[in-house]
Amino acid sequence: MPPADRDAVYKEITPIFRSVFGNETLQLSYQLSAKDVAQWDSLSYINLIVAIEMRLGIKFGMGEIAGLANVGELVDVILKKLRKT
């Protein structure tokens, strides 16, 4: 994926969210977090992170895996990583 802007990242990860959580109509927003999505638990969250890593060819660090509060922060981290590569 080319050096990306925020919208491109949202576009890229939305289908991953939808597949992982089994929710075809899920809309991502900056504030969206575990409490908003019924299927978002610790297990599916790890699947989500791993699926994003595989799709985008990036790797999250320990602190990033544990410390993300919502989708917006996740996108921030992804953007940072994509710009470095």
Residues near other proteins, by CB under 8 A: 16, 19-20, 22, 42-44, 46-47, 50-51, 53-54, 60-62, 65-66
**Per-residue b or e along 17-55, where b marks 16 or more CB atoms closer than 10 Å to that residue's CB:** beebbeeeebebeeebbeeebeebeeebbeebbebbeee
- Nearest CB to other proteins, comparing residues 44 and 70: 44
Closest distance to other proteins from the beta carbon of 25 (Å): 14
Closest distance to other proteins from the beta carbon of 18 (Å): 9
